Structure 1
Amino acid sequence: MSKAKRLWKKTQDMILSLVLGVIIIFAWQQGGLHYILGLKPYQLSYPSDIIRTLDDDLSVIMSNTVWTLKEAVVGILVGSLIGFVIAVFAAAFPKLGVGGISIVTAVNAIPMIAMASIMNNWFGMEMASKVAVVAVFSMASMTLNAYRGMTELPPFSKDLMQICAARKIETFFKLRLPNCLPYMLTALKVSTTTGLMSAICSEFFTSYKGIGYQLTASIKLSQMSVAWAYILVATLCGVLMYAIISIIERVALKWHASQRS
């Protein structure tokens, strides 16, 4: 398929997605979703009410959003760094590394709500507890993906490095790390969504600021348009974070086969 045809196909897909989105929003505004789902306007706010709330309370909403984004971004960076170090250790020392990978897998299976409760109990209401929760789940994702990238090498590549008398440090930087990079970026893509969700979930329990705190407060007060405004902003933040990682991936992996289509 030529470059022009690929561009046209992507444009068509984008147009179809936009048209579908406009149709859904129009049906929502006209009460179609309320009729289908059997909901009242106070249960599902109209798009116009949500936009009006965003306009009226934009400064407050943005302040809480920035707070949650700080928790998510710092947690993702810390957790990803720890996960990468664990993956390097596991790849360098396979016998010990298997146990470490098993522990990380077990930690990743802990329900997010349970982990949020534990971390909030340990670190209190401040940002540290939310960063810790995000770091735990980001660590698991990075560890598993980076370890896979360092161990699932192209056929005969490791043998070729040995034939060339390459040292372990050279094998790491010239073979394992480049092969691991696509897996690391995949882990970061996963972490953008799980990290934001973890931060918001943590704020449900003990917090005085952030998207999660404002969501619970507005729902308790039956201010559904405010709640949906925060949900909309959280969704946009997740999409933006994912898009940033995707752009980094396109730039950093121009040489990789996955970016040639």
Structure 2
Amino acid sequence: MKEMTAMNTERAPVSSSLAREAEVAKSNKTKSASGKESRNVWLPIGFGFLFLILWQLKIFHKLFHLELYQLPLPSAIAEAIHSNGDLLWNYSLYTGSEMIGGCLIGSAIGLLAAIIASFLPKAGKGAITLLAALNAVPIVALAPVMNNWFGDGVASKIAIVSIMTMATMAVSAYKGLRSVEPAYLELMQAYAAGRFTVFAKLRFRLALPAIFTALKINMATGIIGAIVGEFFISSRGLGFLLSDQIKLGNMPIAWSCIVIAAVLGIALYYLIQLIERFAIPWHAAQRKQAS
């Protein structure tokens, strides 16, 4: 009995030492992950501030031999945004509604096409390739056609963005739906799962990362379609204001439109990324970010 007590006494310090080491290792890992996440946030912010400072000090003007009317200073752009806040806000909402509406419609049509194509592998691959050819259509040729079809209102700009985003979603989603490991399919067949069950439980679930990737691309690039569409026939929106102010030589307001459009695209990109983090926490990329 005394021997057993002595053995337990010897083991206790060892186990407590191991527990302390594990705790220290876990704490170090948490600090390392926190430091890495902090660097990932602050490095881009620091680079952005450095870029603005160099711009404000006219370094880019000297490097590229630019005049102030060609590239206004950030302070002048900020002043233009402050002075024309109401106008820019209303026009941003107008262009944003075109972009978001077009992205959602185009992405939905592209996803539907990919789903149908995934059930028809032989014909579907050719159909997706044909749909991808829409990306080769120049937007400057597409915009007048859509304005002619749908008028000069919001509908024509939504149609332009929809066509621009449709192919990206179709190609990405189709690749995700068809990129399933054979072992998974064999397991589902072993359970006598039907085609629709395989699609709902396996293919669509594994295609979600590809679908979210396409959505992020569409949200970031859809603003281009909306603005270019407003260049041709429009009486509102950031594209209309940008084109109008360039003609008048009012470059600070023109650059204000560019800055707001960039911020809008980036904000929607990160919104989709946030939704993705909650929708597919099981994906390897999300687990890596969490750790």
TM range (shorter): over 0.9
Aligned-partner residue type, residue 226 of structure 1: I
Q: CA RMSD in A?
A: 1.3
Are 1:121 and 2:163 counterparts?
no
- After the TM superposition, which of the residue ranges 100-109 and 63-72 deviates more from structure 2? 100-109
Task: Give CA-to-partner distance per residue, 1:43-98, whole Å, 9 cap, x none.
Answer: 11111111111111000001001000000101111111111111111000112212
Aligned-partner residue type, residue 47 of structure 2: L
Task: Give CA-to-partner distance per residue, 1:134-187, whole Å, 9 cap, x none.
Answer: 111211111111111110002411111111100111111100110111111000
Aligned to 1:237: 264
TM-score between the two structures when normalised by the length of structure 2: 0.87
2:92–2:260 contact (8 Å) kept in structure 1: yes
- Of 204, 218, 225, 2:245 maps to 218
TM-score between the two structures when normalised by the length of structure 1: 0.96
2:134–2:167 contact (8 Å) kept in structure 1: yes
| Max Rg structure | 2
Aligned-partner residue type, residue 60 of structure 1: L
In the superposition, relative to structure 1, how do residues 8 and 112 fare at CA in structure 2: closer, same or farther (>3 Å)? Answer: same
2:221–2:265 contact (8 Å) kept in structure 1: no
- Residues 30-41 of structure 1 mapped to structure 2, 5 A cutoff: 30-41=57-68
Taking only the aligned residue pairs, the percentage that are identical comes to 38
- Of 30, 37, 49, 1:10 maps to 37
Aligned-partner residue type, residue 160 of structure 1: L
- Of 68, 86, 105, 2:132 maps to 105
- Structure 2 stretches of 5 or more lacking a match? 1-27
- Residues 131-142 of structure 1 mapped to structure 2, 5 A cutoff: 131-142=158-169
- After the TM superposition, which of the residue ranges 169-178 and 119-128 deviates more from structure 2? 119-128
Q: Secondary structure at the match of 2:76?
A: helix
Question: Which structure 1 residue ranges, 4+ long, deviate > 4 Å from structure 2?
Answer: none
Aligned-partner residue type, residue 185 of structure 2: K
Return the alpha-carbon distance in structure 2 between the equivalents of residues 43 and 206 of structure 1. 25
Return the alpha-carbon distance in structure 1 between the equivalents of residues 176 and 278 of structure 2. 19
Task: Give CA-to-partner distance per residue, 1:8-32, whole Å, 9 cap, x none.
Answer: 1221233222222222211211221
- Number of residue-to-residue matches in the alignment: 261
- Distance apart, 1:115 and its partner CA: 1.6
Aligned-partner residue type, residue 215 of structure 2: L
Return the alpha-carbon distance in structure 2 between the equivalents of residues 194 and 117 of structure 1. 19
Aligned to 1:192: 219
- Structure 1 stretches of 5 or more lacking a match? none
Are 1:248 and 2:275 counterparts?
yes
Name the structure where helix makes up a greater proportion of residues. Answer: 2
